[in-house]
């Protein structure tokens, strides 16, 4: 069974290929993704790696958690399931504006 891992602390220059090849040292990587900011197109500094087996996932955590990749210390652990978040407000709220007290 495949297990998804969270990988935090990535260098902004880390690519999906680099992430995949680094974790492939431990075992078969099913997928690797670096999360990108929609506005800037730049990495957000974290990503996900899916290992083909639970054993490989445990080995990957042991090998990479706290270790450096491209000059940055990684945080690697089992990814938590995505939880439901409240919808964002369209206008972003905001405050006060130009109020006058009479």
Give DSSP secondary structure letters for the chain.
--EEEEEES--TT--HHHHHHHHTTTS-EEEEEEEE-TTT--EEEEEEEEESSHHHHHHHHHHHTT-EETTEE-EEEEPPPPPP-PPPPTT------S----
Sketch the domain layout of the chain as residue ranges.
3-78
Tens digits of residue pLDDT in 14-44: 999 999 999 999 999 999 999 999 999 999 9
pTM assigned to the model: 0.79
Tens digits of residue pLDDT in 44-85: 999 999 999 999 999 999 999 999 999 999 999 999 887 877
Which superfamily does CATH assign the domain made up of 3-78 to? RRM (RNA recognition motif) domain (3.30.70.330)
User: What is the pLDDT, as a whole number, of residue 19?
Assistant: 96
Q: pLDDT band for position 101 (50/70/90)? A: low
């Amino acid at each position: 069974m495949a297990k998804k891992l969270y990988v935090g602390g990535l260098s902004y220059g880390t690519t999906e290929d680099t992430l995949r090849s680094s974790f492939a040292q431990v075992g078969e990587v099913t997928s690797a993704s670096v999360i990108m900011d929609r506005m800037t197109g730049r990495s957000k500094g974290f990503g996900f790696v899916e290992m083909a087996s639970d054993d490989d996932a445990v080995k990957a955590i042991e090998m990479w958690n706290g270790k450096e990749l491209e000059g940055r210390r990684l945080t690697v652990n089992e990814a938590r399931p995505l939880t439901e978040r409240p919808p964002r407000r369209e206008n972003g709220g905001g405050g006060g504006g130009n109020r006058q007290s009479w």
